[in-house]
Amino acid sequence: MDDKQYLDLALTEAEKSLNLGNYPVGAVLVIDDQVVGVGGNFGETSQNYINHAESHLLINHGPILLRAAKDGQNITLYSTLEPCLMCLGEAIMNKIDRIVYIQKDPRAGACGINKDSLGVRYQESWPEIVHNPYSSRSKELITQFLKKQIENGDRVDWSTNFLKLLETC
């Protein structure tokens, strides 16, 4: 499989998240070209906003990731949305070699952070980061979620402001 095929799997997970009432982000964890996990965001339904798609995969696959890193295997995290600071930090701490994402996140994306301003541990383990905007589907799903939030009267200011930011990417 190639990056686009893995990102398509992530989009499927994002759609599942949206259908369950969650912010539509999906992620796929791949070790040496083998999918070891897929997942979506479930922050809304769990009422816990740290339940990001990427975070959940990294936490639940910790032992596999540790073994893969020790064995020198190639670990890639695919996401439909640019990882936030929390997910980026977890990826680095779990020795992810490469992060590939579709949609830039103008609100919380952290992939453009200057790694030189961080501690040595982060600089030494910084992954390759690839923005692959091959599809507009991620942005469409997020827009759909935000518009539904506004329609339902949920977090209207946040959703309205985020929609405006999203238009810039």
Catalytically annotated residues = 54
User: What is the distance in angstroms between the CA of the first residue and the CA of the last residue of the chain?
Assistant: 27
Judge residue 12's burial from the number of C-beta atoms within 10 Å of its C-beta, 0-12 exposed, 13-18 middle, 19 or more buried: middle
CA distance 101 to 110: 12
The set of residues, in sequence order, having a beta carbon less than 8 Å from that of 10 and lying 6+ positions away, is 26, 27, 28, 38, 53, 78, 79, 80, 102
Judge residue 58's burial from the number of C-beta atoms within 10 Å of its C-beta, 0-12 exposed, 13-18 middle, 19 or more buried: buried
CA distance 107 to 93: 23
